[in-house]
């Protein structure tokens, strides 16, 4: 299955944000869910199981100058194998204009046994744009070994590389659960915060398997591993509404 979802958020001229475009295709359905704030909140609703092997799912996001967009999902995404062994793919591309803000806070990606999944995200931030970007990967369902999954993230700020990271787990990658990678953890993720107007956050150990690291400019990355999704979310929940106010 091939599907495209597209979100375009613009400032409404009254201190809020309007959705100039909100378009989805099964299984990528979108719902505007206002929360009373100046941000426009959109929930991603999976109208079918998956992503399944062979699926090619794309999400395109555009945040205009002065607009604030928060994207969430109503449930975890479970990457499942297809009948013919074909890989599945989810691609997210986002652009944020100067003064705009994007909060990407979906639920977890679960790599179910037998899957072959690639999740790829590319974010381009103009100077003065703000970002809160969370990614979480769960290695298999309860009492299940994971399939093969790769999560890759690329973020640029003002035309320069800010973050490049990629993680591959599963039986096709030797050593993925060893001490050099996940160390036996079943869950892993990161929370990237970008705000040029904020004071830089110092490095910090947030728990036994979680750290906060400053990046170039006023950007901070929290990286963590955990035994399960609940513990992982605890490490990555800081600033979930917004570290910038609103």
Spell out the per-residue pLDDT of the chain, length 246, in tens: 899 999 999 999 999 999 999 999 999 999 999 988 999 999 999 877 779 999 999 999 999 999 999 999 999 999 999 889 899 999 999 999 999 999 999 999 999 999 999 999 999 999 999 999 999 999 999 989 999 999 999 999 999 999 999 999 999 999 999 999 999 999 999 999 999 988 878 899 999 999 999 998 889 999 999 999 999 999 998 544 433 333
Strand blocks (E) in the chain: 2-11, 17-23, 28-32, 40-46, 56-63, 68-73, 77-79, 88-96, 101-105, 109-111, 116-125, 130-139, 148-157, 160-169, 187-194, 204-207, 210-215, 219-226
pLDDT in tens, 188-208: 999 999 999 888 788 999 999
Q: Is 185 in contact with 226 (CB distance < 8 Å)?
A: yes
pTM of the model: 0.93
Peptide bond into 27 cis (omega under 30): yes
Peptide bond into 162 cis (omega under 30): no
Give the position of tokens 């040029």. 196
Closest CA to 214 of 189, 195, 234: 195
**How many whole angstroms separate alpha carbon 121 and alpha carbon 27?**
19
């Amino acid at each position: 299955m091939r599907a495209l979802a597209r979100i375009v958020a613009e400032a409404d001229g009254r201190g809020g944000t309007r959705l100039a475009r909100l378009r989805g295709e099964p299984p990528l359905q979108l719902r505007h869910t206002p929360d009373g704030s100046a941000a426009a909140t959109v929930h991603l609703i999976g109208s079918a199981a998956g992503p399944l092997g062979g699926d090619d799912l794309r999400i395109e996001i555009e945040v205009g100058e002065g607009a604030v967009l928060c994207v969430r999902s109503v449930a975890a995404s479970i990457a499942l194998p297809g009948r013919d062994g074909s890989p599945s793919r989810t691609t997210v591309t986002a652009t944020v204009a100067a003064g705009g803000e994007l909060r990407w806070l979906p639920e977890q990606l679960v790599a179910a046994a037998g899957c072959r999944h690639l999740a790829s995200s590319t974010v381009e931030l103009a100077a003065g744009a703000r970002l809160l970007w969370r990614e979480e990967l769960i290695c298999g369902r309860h009492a299940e070994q994971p399939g093969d999954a790769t999560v890759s993230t690329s973020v640029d700020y003002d035309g320069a590389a800010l973050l490049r990271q990629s993680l591959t787990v599963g039986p096709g990658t030797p050593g993925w659960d060893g001490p050099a990678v996940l160390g036996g953890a079943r869950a892993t993720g990161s929370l990237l915060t970008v705000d040029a107007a904020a004071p830089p956050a110092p490095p910090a150990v947030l728990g036994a398997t979680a750290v906060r690291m400053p990046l170039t400019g006023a950007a901070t990355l929290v990286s963590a591993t955990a035994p399960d999704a609940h513990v992982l979310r605890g490490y990555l929940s800081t600033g979930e509404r917004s570290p910038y106010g609103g």
